[in-house]
Structure 1
Amino acid sequence: MPLGPDPRSIHPVPAHPRIVFLKPLIDDPKIEIGDYTYYDDPENARLFASRNVLHHYDFLGDTLRIGRFCAIATGVRFIMNGANHALTGFSTFPFNIFGGGWEEGFDVGTITAGLRGDTVVGNDVWIGAEAVILPGVTIGDGAVIGAFSVVAKDVAPYTIVAGNPAVERRRRFSPDVTERLVRVAWWNWPIARITKNLAAIRGADIDALERAD
C-alpha cells in the first residue's frame, strides 16, 4: 500500500520546488521540526532557517519547536528571544554590540531578564502568509493563524486567531470535540494507520476518528 510522500524528501512535490519539507532541510539544533511539516515559498523555500527564524542566537539557548503535519505559508516569521532589548534601565539602545568601549560594564542579565522561553507550535497547525510569531508563544494543535497576524500570546488548540495583535475569532470545534481530538492525536499514529484512515482524518466525525484502527 502506498504510504504517501517520503518525509525525508526536501521537495515532496517535485513539480513544485517552492514546497519543502522542513525536517530534512534544517540542521540547526535550535530548531526542531516534525515529519511532514512544510513551508511554501516561491523564491526562498530552502532558506527558511535563515530568513524566517530571526534573532536566534546560540548563547541564549531558546528553541523553536514545530510539530508534525503543519502548513506554513510564504513569509511567516518566527521572532526569537535574541530580538529582545534591555528594559531594566532608561535606554533600550544596545550600546554593547557596537564596541569601541561601549561594551564595558554591560550586564547580560539585563537581556536575559526579558527572555520568554521557547517558541512551540503544535501539530496540524496552519499558519497563514506573512504571519509573525513572537518569542515564547505556544500554539496549540490544530490551530489556524490568519495571514498577516502578529501572534503575541498563546493560542489554544483548534482555535482560529487573526489580526495585530492576533485575537481569537472562533473555535473550530466544540470543547468536547477539541478535547477528544487532542486525545486521539492522529498525527502520532504510524503512517500506515494515518494512510488507512485519511477519510476519518479529513472528515468531521469524531466518533469515526476514535474508532479508526
Structure 2
Amino acid sequence: MMKFFDRSFLYNPLGQYLSWLKCKGWYQINHWGQHLRIGYLSRISNVTFGRYNIVGEHCMLINCSMGDFSYVNSYSYVLNAAIGRYCSIGPNVKIAPGKHPTSVFVSTHPVTFNNQVNMLRNYCKEEKFRNYSPVTIGNDVWIGANAIIIDGVNIADGAIIAANSLVTKDVGPFEIVGGTPAKFIKKRFDDDQIICLLETSWWDKDEEWVQKNISKFWDIEDFTHADLNEA
C-alpha cells in the first residue's frame, strides 16, 4: 500500500494556490520596499532578489540571485544561476536544467551514480557525479524565448541569446549567438563601443544617473561620445 501511495495524491488546485500564496507572501514581505513581484503559481526557493525584479507565472527559481531590474518571464525554469542587473529572460527558458555523464560512466541514468531523493530507488549511497554546475549571467543580457542554457556556462555583459537556442559554451561581451547548438552570429557594437560600455558599466550606476542620461541610451553614438562622468 505504501508503495502505491505517493505525494501526488495530495496535490490539488487549492493546495497549490495556498503554497504559492505562502511563498509569494514570504518573499514579498521580506523584500518590502524592493518592489518584487512574483507571478501566479511560481515556485521560489533560496533566491536572493535585488530591486524591481519580476518573476512571471508558473516559473521555478531555485538557488539563484537576481540583480536590480532583472526579470524572468512565464514558464521559465532557472536553477543555480547568478543573474546580473537589467537582464531580460524570455518565456519558457531553461537555465542549468542539470546534466548527465556522457563518457567514462557506463550509464547516463542517475540511479547508477547518485543518491537522489527524487528517484524511487538508487544503487549509490553517495554522489559519484555532480549533475549540476552554476551558471553566471552578466548584466544587460537578453535571453530569448525557449532558450536552454546548459550547466556551467558563463554569459558575459550585454550578450543576446536568440530564441530557441541551445547554449553549450561561454558567450562573450555583447555577442549575439543563436542556433542548436548556439553559434556566434555577430557583435552588437564595434570594439571601441563595447570597450566604452564595459568601462562605463552603466548597469552599476544608481537610478538617478540612469534617469539623467536616459536620452543617450537611444543611440550608441550619443552614448559613447557623451561626457557621461560630467552629465
Which position in structure 1 is the counterpart of 2:226?
208
Q: TM-score, length-normalised on structure 1? A: 0.71
| C-alpha displacement of 1:64 | 0.5
Tell me, in whole angstroms, the C-alpha distance in 2 between the residues paired with 1:169 and 1:86.
Answer: 28
Q: 1:122 aligns with which of 132, 138, 151?
A: 138
Alignment of 1:133-152 (within 5 A): 133-152=149-168
Alignment of 1:114-193 (within 5 A): 117-193=133-209
| C-alpha displacement of 1:40 | 2.9
Tell me, in whole angstroms, the C-alpha distance in 1 between the residues paired with 2:85 and 2:165.
Answer: 22
Tell me, in whole angstroms, the C-alpha distance in 1 between the residues paired with 2:205 and 2:92.
Answer: 30
Which position in structure 2 is the counterpart of 1:60?
none
Please say if 1:70 is aligned against 2:97: no
Of 202-211 and 119-128, deviating more is 202-211
* Letter aligned with residue 9 of structure 1: L
Q: Deviations over 1:132-156 (max 9, x none)?
A: 1101111111111100000111111
| C-alpha displacement of 1:28 | 6.6
Q: 1:35 aligns with which of 29, 53, 68?
A: 68
Secondary structure of the residue aligned to 1:83 is coil
CA-atom RMSD in angstroms? 2.9
User: For the structure 1 residues 154 and 86, does the alpha-carbon distance in structure 2 shift closer, same or farther, using more than 3 Å as the test?
Assistant: closer
Give the number of the structure with larger relative contact order, counting CA–CA contacts within 8 Å between residues 6 or more apart. Answer: 1
Identity %: 30
Q: TM-score, length-normalised on structure 2? A: 0.66
| C-alpha displacement of 1:199 | 1.1
Tell me, in whole angstroms, the C-alpha distance in 1 between the residues paired with 2:96 and 2:60.
Answer: 19
Pair member with larger Rg: 2
* Letter aligned with residue 179 of structure 2: G
Tell me, in whole angstroms, the C-alpha distance in 2 between the residues paired with 1:95 and 1:9.
Answer: 38
Which position in structure 2 is the counterpart of 1:103?
123
Tell me, in whole angstroms, the C-alpha distance in 2 between the residues paired with 1:209 and 1:159.
Answer: 25
Which position in structure 2 is the counterpart of 1:10?
37
| C-alpha displacement of 1:183 | 1.1
Gaps of 5+ in 1: 1-5, 12-19, 57-62
Please say if 1:79 is aligned against 2:112: no
